[in-house]
Amino acid sequence: MFEFKKTSQLLRRRTVIRASVAGLVVILMLGILVSRLWYLQVVRYEGLAARADQNRIAVVPIPPRRGEVVDRNGVVLARNYRDYTLMVTPARVEGGIESMLDELSTLVYISARDRRRFLQSLGKTSRYAQVVLRNNLNEIEASWFAAHSFKFPGVELQARWVREYPQGESAAHVIGYVGRISQADEQQLEEEGRLGNYRGTSIIGKKGIEKTWEEVLHGQTGLEEVEVTASGRPVRVLNRVDPIPGADLQLSIDIGLQKHAESLFEGRRGALVAIEPATGEVLAFVSAPSFDPNLFVDGIDVDNWRKLNESPDHPLINRPLFGTYPIGSTYKPFVALAALEMGKRKAHERIPDPGYFEFGGQRFRNAGGAAYGWTDMHRALVVSSDTYFYSLGPEIGVDALHDFSKQFGFGQITGIDLEGERRGILPSREWKRKAYKNPSQQRWYAGETVSVVVGQGYNSFTLLQLAQATSVLANDGVYMKPHLVQHIVDPATGEKTATVTEPSHVIPLKQENIDVVKRALVDVTRTGTARRAFANAPYQAAGKTGTAQVFSLRGAKYNASTIDERLRDHALFMAYAPADNPKIAVGLIVENAGWGATVAAPVARSVFDYWLIERGNLLQ
């Protein structure tokens, strides 16, 4: 009996101890839970609340409408249209990417190229970033996918702005094109602090005006704060900041003149730039042959890229901006003006022209072996006497000629609103010292100046520089910076802002010296080397023909029929019209076409006829 009672007491004691321990454990756990809740609800409230909002609120960027580009008369050169695109967020795809692609292909056409590019893009981006799968879905495809979209988590149909160039190949080197944003583009945007403004945007300007004026054209990205479910389905829009569309650009180009000038280069290689002297506005900017910028908008395919890139005619090269050439006798008016300004030669002073000039034991001959007898400056320009200008070389000197010519833009960056402009070569003693490493090649020889003054030798200029120099000469030394964008147009108000309004500088020239050169250039088209091209013109033009060697004949006689076509002389011409009130100035080259008088001058005549007569600018 005693043993039973003792055992019962022991059991009760153990039960009490166990209950007490359990109670303490429960109280301790409750205390920990309460303290944790207090920590989360009070101490960490702000941070966790923000994270919770991020989990239920998606910030969706709204890309702005890209600004349009029009010519001086409002003709559209670059515009936007809406289409549909399939975007994929890899992290949300169920069942694997390949499986999704196979199933989706039964509903919407996905080419092998689309699939390949999509899979390549996956390895370059985050699993949570959207990747383009297919562009340019039509209305039927878009509606068909929308009806079955619930089967494809992670795949989204989006409307987007697409760039289009309705003029095709015309003015392609001016307008340029847009393309997909590359990693290099992203890196540059990040370095410039502009990457945030490109969230949701897939394209960026790559060439031409599209690239140079990218910031203005792009606009400001907007955003929507959208409440979403755990699966990512949107519930409602909580907040919206509308995007600001990019500004429109009105170019100085006249697309009618542009197409007319381009037609004159059909089947030929060359370049032409036409400028309005009083304003510096570029009226036409031809690089032949050209290309279709629409090919680049969504990424050019391999076949088209190979055709363009491997063509011996190099259609992708912007010839007026990037190509550099010896400009031959079109340089002579500026050499003549330099001689007058420096007092090295009087206009009426005559020298004998037996058909050659001897210097340093070497004979420098006139083109075609012509001999003009006693020749003054006026006659030398009209008939294009090389001998007369050869004789000016040692008198002027290369450094003095360099310093004079650079004021007109030769060998300089003109500052036109296109990227990729080349400086070319305006030779001087200093230039040669820097250009060659071998000390024996660094010395400048006086005989080299003889070639330079007739636009040959080391001279290498862009056609833009020739056109600009012609424009400045026509404008009596007033240098208006050449530009393609005439106005920036506010898309909301339509307000226009001019880009260039004042001269960059004025070359200090004596008017009587300018008049000497100008009178000679008028007679070039009246009785000189360009007389046939401008016969019966209803206006008076002024100009200078030029023919430039592509390679040295080393004393041999030039015969175009026996020389490879791409080694034949270039045909050049510089001119402005009307002579007494210039409305247009041009510099042009037809590559490997022979004489400037027979090939290049007629091109300028046709351009002048169109602009002054057909467009009615002669009477303005």
CB-count exposure of residue 16 (10 Å: 0-12, 13-18, 19+): exposed
Instruction: Please list the residues that pair with 489 across neighbouring strands.
Output: 248, 496
540 closest CA partner among 581, 491, 499, 493: 581
388 closest CA partner among 360, 362, 364: 364
Q: State how beta strands 496-498 and 485-489 pair.
A: antiparallel
SS (H, E, C) 219-255: CECEEEEEEECCCCCEEEEEEEECCECCCEEEECCCH
Place of tokens 């381009």: 262
Other Cβ atoms less than 10 A from the Cβ of 78: the count is 27
Q: Which of 252, 287, 290, 329 is catalytic?
A: 329
Distances (CA, A) of 304 to 66, 94, 112, 518, 555: 26, 36, 17, 47, 43
Please tell me whether residue 356 adopts helix, strand or coil conformation: strand
Cβ-contact 612, 583 below 8 angstroms: yes
Please tell me whether residue 23 adopts helix, strand or coil conformation: helix
472 Cβ contact partners less than 8 Å away, ≥ 6 residues apart: 277, 408, 409, 478, 479, 480, 507
289 prior amide bond cis, ω within 30 = yes
Cβ-contact 206, 179 below 8 angstroms: yes
Cβ-contact 176, 206 below 8 angstroms: yes
Residue type, 208: G
The CA distance from 394 to 396, in Å, is: 6
Q: Where are the alpha helices (DSSP H) in 276-331?
A: 302-310, 319-322
Please tell me whether residue 570 adopts helix, strand or coil conformation: strand
Q: Where are the alpha helices (DSSP H) in 39-89?
A: 45-56
Q: How large is the angle between the packed helices 332-341 and 463-474, nearest 10 degrees? A: 50
User: Angle CA(222)–CA(227)–CA(233) in degrees, nearest 5?
Assistant: 105
Token output for 76? 């559209």
Cβ-contact 605, 537 below 8 angstroms: yes
Cβ-contact 135, 83 below 8 angstroms: yes
Q: At 94, phi and psi to the nearest 5? A: -105, 140
Active site residue 391: no
Q: Where in the sequence numbering do the catalytic residues fall?
A: 329
